[in-house]
Amino acid sequence: MYAVIKTGGKQHKVKPGDVLEVEYLRGAEGTLTFRPLLVVDDEGRTHVGKELERAVVTATLLGERKGDKVRIFKYKNKTGYARRAGHRQLLTLVRIEDVSLGARRGKGAGASEAAPTEPEAEPAPTS
């Protein structure tokens, strides 16, 4: 099962066990939850739109780090104009723990997926 989540203005295709570098999440701690845009289950069926009301992708925060250095150089010919700068983006590392569609509704109004109960044992006759 995999899902497509959106975070930091980017979309990521994730499945349980993946480790992602996403845009820095300020104040994030412990366990994170994402609302997926699309889920493909183990049977190959695609779930989108209203089918994803209860769908959740859970992830664990692994830490923060800085990305690779990006060098910026501006130059205009024959004018003596040259500028140098650099940037390192802050990133958050997360591990995807679970992709779940949530509880499914049964067919028909008021139907529920309750587990069948076992009959209670009859008391032993006393003589």
Q: Give the residue numbers spanning the domain of 45.
A: 2-100
Residue 105 lies in a domain: no
Q: Decide: 42 and 15 in contact? Cβ < 8 Å.
A: no
Structural domains in the chain (count):
1
Residue 11 lies in a domain: yes
Residue 125 lies in a domain: no
58, amino acid identity: T
Q: Is 45 helix (H, G, I), strand (E, B) or coil?
A: coil
Residue 74 lies in a domain: yes
Q: What are the 10-residue block averages of pLDDT along the chain, 127 residues in total?
A: 93 95 91 92 88 92 96 97 97 95 55 44 59
pLDDT recorded at residue 110: 40
pLDDT recorded at residue 111: 40
Residue 119 lies in a domain: no
C-alpha 107: how far from chain center: 28
pLDDT recorded at residue 44: 87
**Of 93, 104, 84, 89, residue with least CA distance to 41:** 104
Residues 6+ positions from 36 with CB-CB distance below 8 Å: 3, 4, 5, 52, 55, 56, 57, 99
* pTM, 2 dp: 0.69
